[in-house]
Amino acid sequence: MVCNRETNANDKILIGVVIVSRDLVCQAHRYVLNNTNEVQAYINEHMKYIRRASIQLNQEGRMGN
């Protein structure tokens, strides 16, 4: 394995570069979001919002018919 070691302004070391597809990055991002306790409360609140909005749209649709 070849590693390029460079220091940056914060004296941190950059070891190599990995190029991955956008799909893999999105998949990893979703995995982290769905498996992180700190994010779960926001996901739950968003799901509640979607349910309320869906019910409201269904009710408005019935009134229009």
Tally of domains within the chain:
1
The range of the structural domain enclosing residue 22 comes to 5-64
0.85 exceeded by the pTM? no
Helix/strand/coil for 30: helix
Helix/strand/coil for 18: coil
Percent helix / strand / coil, the chain, rounded to 5: 65, 10, 30
d(C-alpha 8, C-alpha 16), whole Å: 13
CA-based diameter of the chain, in Å? Answer: 67
> Which pLDDT score is estimated for 64?
61
**What is the per-residue pLDDT across 17-58, written as a single tens digit (0 to 9) for each?**
888 888 998 999 999 988 989 998 999 999 999 999 999 988
